[in-house]
Structure 1
């Protein structure tokens, strides 16, 4: 009996498998870059190191991500997708300014604690981060301050907004909680008291 020939796999199957392989390779590259950004920092993350960790060549990395901005955008999106992000839309629904500030700062400080290592390294190596990524991060910070400040009657006071911006900053959380040993809740109370004092001065 002659051996039955196997029918060739449909072209659609081959194309789908190739697309899946490409997707998996891209994901490995992104995960390798995120790991390196969060352990060594962006300034010390080279294409060679990413290629080695993801098991591909430098050319493959460049084929998937032709420039730094594309790679950083993919890394940032992947890392953020794994975090419980701050929810300024929920703070904005709170009318009382002190309650809104307390809720917003507690939410931000929770996020800072969970993502501390990555955030600290990205801020440390800010000059190595592509400008569009830096601008997006700065804009996000401005939005947080806008939501927190708008509940106050003195919302347009530049000093009040500056103090709220200081309270909402990652560096302020790190100074109070890591350097001085406060809990997140204690740090929130300290900053709320400071903002209330500034708001009452006018």
Structure 2
């Protein structure tokens, strides 16, 4: 039974990473896993349960960004450099899956969509934290929100030829 469940999860991960969650069907997962749709539903009663298992499995294979490490840098520019380098490394390593997840964000189960939004807000807040309270509102918050966006990373590295292996240097993004 565990091997069947694993085959189903692996099939869901493969489909989410190739066609995206919005175009992944239970029938497609069943076919790729070599089981019936009924077998998929026996292991995962709904799309959210399957998506949760798929997400957990994929994340378990990744080196996730670690905002706790970023917080070890009290200098705002160093934290920015360290945090964005760590986050952009994660985006580079998980690009295929993340492209499809973010493209299909509106089709994700509500809880997972909210988790992505909460996580992104947390990344922004950790990067803004060493700046003064006055600096954190308005423009700096908007700039940090843009900087941590997966789509910003894609734009920098794919549309504008910035190396995907870049190491960020501190810059004065917030200066008047």
TM-score normalised by structure 2 residue count: 0.94
> Which consecutive segments of 4 or more residues in structure 1 shift more than 4 A?
184-187
Match of 2:63 in 1: 84
Shift of 1:128: 2.0
The structure with the greater share of residues assigned to helix is 1
Partners of 1:68 and 1:143 lie apart in 2 by 27
Match of 1:177 in 2: 157
Match of 2:115 in 1: 136
1:144-159 matches, cutoff 5 A: 144-153=123-132, 154-159=134-139
**Does the Cα contact within 8 Å between 1:173 and 1:187 map onto a contact in 2?**
no
Partners of 1:160 and 1:42 lie apart in 2 by 33
Partners of 2:41 and 2:107 lie apart in 1 by 18
**Does the Cα contact within 8 Å between 1:106 and 1:188 map onto a contact in 2?**
yes
Shift of 1:127: 2.3
TM-score normalised by structure 1 residue count: 0.82
Q: Work out whether 1:118 is the aligned partner of 2:97.
A: yes
Match of 2:84 in 1: 105
1:44-63 matches, cutoff 5 A: 44-63=23-42
Partners of 1:197 and 1:26 lie apart in 2 by 47
Match of 1:25 in 2: 4
Shift of 1:186: 5.3
Partners of 2:84 and 2:66 lie apart in 1 by 11
- Backbone CA RMSD of aligned residues: 1.5
**Does the Cα contact within 8 Å between 1:37 and 1:121 map onto a contact in 2?**
yes
**CA shift digits 1:99-143 (9 cap, x unpaired):** 000000000110000101111111111222111111111111111
